[in-house]
Amino acid sequence: MNNEIHLTDNLRVRELKKLETPARLKETLPLGDELTQKVLADRQTVRNIIHLKDPRLLVIVGPCSIHDPKAVLDYARRLAHLAKAVKEKYFLVMRVYFEKPRTTVGWKGFINDPHLDNSCDMEYGLRAARTLMLDIAKLGLPIATEFLDPIVPQYTADLVSWSAIGARTTESQTHREMSSGLSMPVGFKNATDGNIQVAINAIESASNPHSFLGIDQEGHTAVVKTTGNPNTHLVLRGGDKQPNFELPEVTYAACKLEAAGLDPSIMVDCSHANASKVASNQVNVWNDILKQRKSSNCPITGAMIESFIEEGNQKVAPVLKYGLSITDSCIDWATTERMLS
């Protein structure tokens, strides 16, 4: 019987390598009581903002993706200082994205390929990612990330105060089910073609209970039964080279949310199609958000900014410029500081 299985199963799988369990990684890199309380408090603040109970603007800000922990910690120290200075009007959450969705092929992010050489040392990637998240959390910064692989949250989700489901995965049943069990608020981006109904459907789906296959903290395959996530919202990121951050599009999106019986709570992504993929255009989107928020009934409760130490981006190479993105272009620190001050 076993021989028959081997003749038909895993024919294109080159290797199966066991990972240390989520429980073991957390045991060696624990969150601790003090940081646990901080994460719980930060998640509550995010909930209050997206449910219109806190008037501040939720701002998810940081590099497009993580590739150099040293530079990221440098950025985090700067952001932690700025967060304290602007806390009366903005709640800053650092963008700490370890997974990179690809349209076809390419570097899949720090967890998948931390050495940038296609060695795909994922055990090292998971451990290094958690270590970096702990270092950032110790600076007092809440953490935001995008969950792409449904296994990863078991290793890192306890450190996350806000998470995103990206434009390519918002329609995915797997990601909607996963979001229904996540412990933090989740923002669903509109589809890459600009369709917001897909994201609204995702919000409704994730708010309901689901049962699906996953793993437990010991790494065993398990049936996961969730209660549903009541803390989900819409993220407008534009689509098909058309922005959707201006007043008519925001008003339309708010009406669609209300018609579905959902809070008219919207985050605007200043980057991606809203900026026509030009990093410096994020400033214009940001200024428009601030203008709209002067209205007492403005549904914009959050914004997302792609920002790093240096402006622009670079291709992966043996020698990389410090503090410069290797994925989407970012605005530099000086511009970020001006925008948020």
Predicted confidence (pLDDT) per residue in 133-182, tens digit? 999 999 999 999 999 999 999 999 999 999 999 999 999 999 999 999 99
Residue 299 lies in a domain: yes
Residue 9 lies in a domain: no
What backbone phi and psi angles, to 5 degrees, belong to 17? -115, 125
C-alpha to C-alpha distance for 116 and 318, rounded to whole angstroms: 9
C-alpha to C-alpha distance for 270 and 173, rounded to whole angstroms: 27
Report whether pLDDT(241) > 90. no
Residue 38 lies in a domain: yes
pLDDT tier, 32 (very low <50, low <70, confident <90, very high otherwise): very high
Which residue carries 């993929």 as its tokens? 277
Question: Which of these, 71, 185, 46, lies nearest to 135 by C-alpha position?
Answer: 71
Residue 154 lies in a domain: yes
Q: Using a cut of 0.75, tell me whether the model's pTM lies above it.
A: yes
pLDDT tier, 223 (very low <50, low <70, confident <90, very high otherwise): very high
pLDDT of residue 106: 87
Average pLDDT (294-317) is 97
- CATH number, domain containing residue 71: 3.20.20.70
C-alpha to C-alpha distance for 135 and 139, rounded to whole angstroms: 7
Residue 77 lies in a domain: yes
Q: Six-digit token pair at 135? A: 């270092």
Which residue did the predictor score with more confidence, 246 or 241? 246
Average pLDDT (205-214) is 98
pLDDT tier, 4 (very low <50, low <70, confident <90, very high otherwise): low
Three-state SS for 58? Answer: strand
pLDDT of residue 157: 98
Residue 52 lies in a domain: yes
Percent of the chain with pLDDT over 70: 99
Identify residue 131 by its one-letter amino acid code: T
The alpha carbon dihedral of 278, 282, 285, 291 has a sign of negative
Q: Six-digit token pair at 180? A: 């229904």
Average pLDDT (288-304) is 97
pLDDT of residue 295: 93
Report whether pLDDT(1) > 60. no
pLDDT of residue 101: 83
Report whether pLDDT(293) > 60. yes
Q: Six-digit token pair at 318? A: 């043996």
pLDDT tier, 103 (very low <50, low <70, confident <90, very high otherwise): confident
pLDDT tier, 102 (very low <50, low <70, confident <90, very high otherwise): confident
pLDDT tier, 5 (very low <50, low <70, confident <90, very high otherwise): low
In Å, how far are 68, 124, 237, 301 from 263, measured between CA atoms?
Answer: 38, 40, 19, 11
C-alpha to C-alpha distance for 314 and 324, rounded to whole angstroms: 7
Is residue 74 within 8 Å of residue 327, measured between CB atoms? no
Identify residue 145 by its one-letter amino acid code: T
Question: Which of these, 65, 27, 26, 19, lies nearest to 156 by C-alpha position?
Answer: 26
The alpha carbon dihedral of 206, 209, 215, 218 has a sign of positive
Helix, strand, coil shares of the chain, percent, nearest 5, are 40, 15, 45
**Mean per-residue pLDDT of the chain:** 96
Residue 244 lies in a domain: yes
Average pLDDT (6-25) is 92
Print the domain residue range for 62.
18-340
**Domains contained in the chain, number:** 1
Q: Six-digit token pair at 73? A: 């910690």
Whats the size of the chain, residue-wise?
341
pLDDT tier, 324 (very low <50, low <70, confident <90, very high otherwise): very high
Residue 3 lies in a domain: no
Percent of the chain with pLDDT over 90: 94
pLDDT of residue 132: 98
Report whether pLDDT(131) > 90. yes
C-alpha to C-alpha distance for 296 and 156, rounded to whole angstroms: 37
Is residue 252 within 8 Å of residue 304, measured between CB atoms? no
